[in-house]
Amino acid sequence: MNQSVVHPAVRELVEAINTGDRPRFLSALTPDAILSDDDTQQDLEEWIDREIFTVNGHLDVEEQDDDGLSMIARYRNDTWGEMRTRWRFTIVDGKIGAIATGQA
């Protein structure tokens, strides 16, 4: 099941992931946005290139909480295949300022 993402900034990010649109992804973020994967801080641009945009990343949302700022999703890419993941977003002035992801 792919739920419609509730929060507009998160919806923009998910659509950018699923269409392979790196500039659109970055435009959904604040200039100083941060990303952590399994509680480890990552270099955001290096991580999105490695985990999303060079390996056909795709996200199917299964559950949402906190008005769409927390979700469980099936995430797949050419490197790791498919896995159940958790995502948490922090919004700053209408854009995403922090992403925390990892295996669910």
3 inside domain: no
Check the CA dihedral 81-20-49-96 and report its sign.
negative
Full domain range(s) for residue 12: 8-103
pLDDT confidence of residue 2: 61
Domains contained in the chain, number: 1
Query: Residue 78 belongs to a domain with what CATH number?
Result: 3.10.450.50
2 inside domain: no
Contact (Cβ atoms closer than 8 angstroms) between residue 62 and residue 1: yes
The model's pLDDT over 12-51, given as tens digits with 9 standing for 90+, comes to 999 999 999 999 999 999 999 999 999 999 999 999 999 9
Question: How high does pLDDT run on average in the chain?
Answer: 95
Residue 4 pLDDT level (bands cut at 50, 70, 90): confident
pLDDT confidence of residue 35: 98
50 inside domain: yes
54 inside domain: yes
pLDDT confidence of residue 1: 47
> What is the pTM (predicted TM-score) of this model?
0.94
What's the residue count for the chain? 104
